[in-house]
Structures are given as C-alpha cells and as structure tokens.
Chains A and B, each alone.
Chain A
Amino acid sequence: MAGKGRAFATIVALAFLSGCIAHTEPAELFALTPDIPKNRAMQTRMFETPNERELLSASAAVLQDLGFQVEESQRQVGFLRATKERSAREYGQYIRQVLVLILSLGKLMQPVDLHQKIAASLIARPLNAEATRQEVRIMFYRVVWQGDGQVDNQYIPPGEQHMEMIRDPEIYQQFFAKLSKAVFLEAHRI
C-alpha cells in the first residue's frame, strides 16, 4: 500500500516536472511568427529628430531613472544594454509551495523564485537616408533563479534558472512616455 502511494507521488511529481519541458525545433525560432508584428509594435516608437546621439543618451538616462545600470553601449550602431537585479520572491508562490507540499503528503516541494535579473536591450536607428526620423526599439526580459525543492526522495538543488521575455505593454508604455518627456518629442507608434 505504501509502495503504491509512493509510485503515485512519483508519477504526479514527474507530471509536474515534464509539463514544462517541450523542446522547440531551432528552425522554428528563425521563422516569422504571427505574434512578431504585435511585439514589434509594442517595443518600437518613432521620433522626428535627426539627433540619434541625443536620443541614445536620453534613453540611457531614462533607464537609469528606472533603476537600471547600463552595462554595454555602442554609439556607432545605437546600442545600449542595461540590467537591474531584484528579489523575485512572491507570497503566492510560497502559499502554493505549502499547498502542494500538503496535497502531495510531503513528497513534493516546488522550488520558488528567489532572485531575478531584469535586462533591457535597446537599439536606436535612423529610418530614412537623410536620418531625420529615428526608431527606438527596446526589449525587456528577465532571468529568474529558483530556490531548492524536493521531489519524493530527490533533492532539487537551488540555483536553477529560467528566462522569459517581458510582454507587459504597460512597462513599454512607461518607458516611452519617460523617453519622449526627456527629449521633448512625441513618440509615434509605428
């Protein structure tokens, strides 16, 4: 009877674990998908200015205002990368961890998110040959590090990481609102 319970717990645990692992074909990742134009529209704004350098330095200043550290910059190609590290702890996850622990009779302890690194990659580029119009595109993403956990008798060491793109339109709107204020220009949607 105990053996049966144990096998069941293992199956449940495996189902939990394998639920998130489905391999993608690399070829698919280089093809244009329907959600690409939507993301592009969210991440991009156009500015009527010939001054690319000003746009880039204002972008760096806005990112600093948002708590980011600029890590890399290349003026010649209009490139900036900035990061900030924050805690990723959430009450909801701890509550779920306890619930799962109770429901699985102490067999399964799901790891919770502990720490995250939020990063922004920004490119400013001229849109026409005379360079009177500039486009700014920014992408936010984050890497999350998880704490330890346990599946049946197997210990899951801490430090496992997962990555995700940030797709919340509000974050992008906030950034572009601040940027257009900083350069005294209107940010046009493309």
Chain B
Amino acid sequence: MNKSRLHITLLGLGLLLAGSPLLQSCAVPQPAPDLLAPTEAQMKIRSLQTRTFDLTDRNAAIRGVIASLQDLGFIIERANEGLGLVTAARFAEPNYYDVVTITVTVRQETADKMSFRANAIYNNKPIEDPKVYQNFFAALQRALFLSQESTPSP
C-alpha cells in the first residue's frame, strides 16, 4: 500500500521533471522592446544604401535607375513614377533557384539634389555587403551621367 503510493509520487515527480522543459519550449519568446529601434548597424547599412546626386529632373532620375538595372541584367518588375519606386529582380545565374531582388526609391531632397535609396535582397535575406551597393551605384552613375562623361573633363 505504502509502496505503491511511493511509486505514484515518484512517477508524478518524474513526469513533472520531464514536462517542465517541454512546457518551457512551448512558451512564445517575447520580442525585445527595442526590436524596432534603430541600431548602429542599421544606420551603417542605410548610409551604404543611400547616395545623393546633383540632379533636377526627377523623371530622368527614375529612368536612369531603370536603365542601370537593365544594364546589370535585372528584370524590371514594378515601376511607379508617382512614388519614385522601382523594383527589379534577377535570377542568380547559372543556377535557377536563387533570386536577387532590389528596390530603389528616388526622392527629391532639394531643388537640385536627388537621393537614391537601394535595398537588395538575396532570396529572402537582406544583402549587407557594401560591395553590392557600390557596384550598383557605379552602374547608376554611369547611366545617369553617360552624356556628361563622354565629354573630356578638365
């Protein structure tokens, strides 16, 4: 009688011990309160992704973005003149399972300054490699100032 009660108590204790880590794993992790707060890394990324050029014609700026993306072999998926938004994608050839997507927004900062912000994504991971953005802005500069560059600079 006493022995069986001891057994039940031990069994209960065992179940409790086994169950507690299980319960813990079920608990939903709470998001940190600073989840949406800007971090230093984000600021750095943003500065990598943003470039300002001396331009006045907004439409020409958007067309320049489209031309540069096409030159890099990207497919234009969406373009919105009103918002200054261009989204393009490219298959990571030669393998056909990976996709690079880029969104560029064009904003007029002052009357003669245009700011370009680019966000690139590889599959579903944001690209944080500065080289990617340098390459893109080099292509953009080529597309925007092709006519100026053809004249020899002093």
B132 part of interface (Cβ distance < 8 Å): yes
- Is A24's CB under 8 angstroms from B70's CB? no
Q: In chain A, residues 5-51, which have Cβ atoms closer than 8 Å to a Cβ of chain B? A: 20-24, 26-27, 29-33, 36, 39-40
B48 part of interface (Cβ distance < 8 Å): no
- CA of A72 to CA of B67 in the docked complex: distance in angstroms? 18
- Is A30's CB under 8 angstroms from B132's CB? yes
Q: Is the interface of B mostly helix, strand, loop or mixed?
A: mixed
Closest chain A residue, CB of each to CB of B90: A29
Q: Mark B91-133, 1 if CB is under 8 A from A, else 0.
A: 1111111111000000000000000000010100001010110
- CA of A77 to CA of B62 in the docked complex: distance in angstroms? 7
B139 part of interface (Cβ distance < 8 Å): yes
- Is A125's CB under 8 angstroms from B120's CB? no
Residue among A26, A123, A162 making CB contact with B100, cutoff 8 Å = A26
Cβ of B11 to closest chain A Cβ, rounded Å: 38
Residues of B near A121 (CB, < 8 A) are: 75-77
Residue among B77, B82, B95 making CB contact with A23, cutoff 8 Å = B95
Check A24/B72 contact, CB under 8 A, given A74-B79, A76-B59.
Answer: no
Residues of A near B100 (CB, < 8 A) are: 26, 29
Q: Mark B46-78, 1 if CB is under 8 A from A, else 0.
A: 000000000000010011001100111101111
- Is A77's CB under 8 angstroms from B81's CB? yes
- Is A165's CB under 8 angstroms from B59's CB? no
Residues of B near A68 (CB, < 8 A) are: none
- CA of A78 to CA of B76 in the docked complex: distance in angstroms? 11
Size bracket, chain B contacts: 35 or more
Residues of B near A30 (CB, < 8 A) are: 72, 120, 131-132, 135-136, 139
Check A165/B91 contact, CB under 8 A, given A39-B73, A77-B66, A121-B75.
Answer: yes
Number of residues of chain A lying within 8 A (CB) of chain B: 33
Residues of A near B77 (CB, < 8 A) are: 81, 121
- CA of A27 to CA of B129 in the docked complex: distance in angstroms? 7
- CA of A121 to CA of B76 in the docked complex: distance in angstroms? 6
A107 part of interface (Cβ distance < 8 Å): no
- CA of A24 to CA of B123 in the docked complex: distance in angstroms? 11
Cβ of B13 to closest chain A Cβ, rounded Å: 41
Q: In chain A, residues 154-174, which have Cβ atoms closer than 8 Å to a Cβ of chain B? A: 162-165
Check A163/B91 contact, CB under 8 A, given A79-B79, A121-B77, A125-B63.
Answer: yes
- Is A141's CB under 8 angstroms from B75's CB? yes
- Is B95's CB under 8 angstroms from A24's CB? yes
For this complex, 21 residue pairs linking A to B, each with C-beta atoms less than 8 Å apart, are A21-B95, A21-B97, A23-B92, A26-B132, A30-B72, A36-B72, A36-B73, A77-B62, A78-B63, A79-B66, A81-B76, A121-B76, A125-B63, A139-B70, A139-B75, A164-B91, A164-B93, A164-B96, A165-B73, A165-B75, A165-B93
State the 9 A-B residue pairs at the shortest beta-carbon distance, nearest first. A76-B81, A30-B135, A162-B96, A24-B92, A79-B79, A27-B131, A26-B122, A163-B91, A121-B75
10 further interface pairs, Cβ-Cβ under 8 Å (given A27-B131, A33-B73): A23-B95, A26-B120, A30-B120, A30-B139, A36-B72, A81-B77, A121-B76, A123-B66, A141-B75, A163-B91
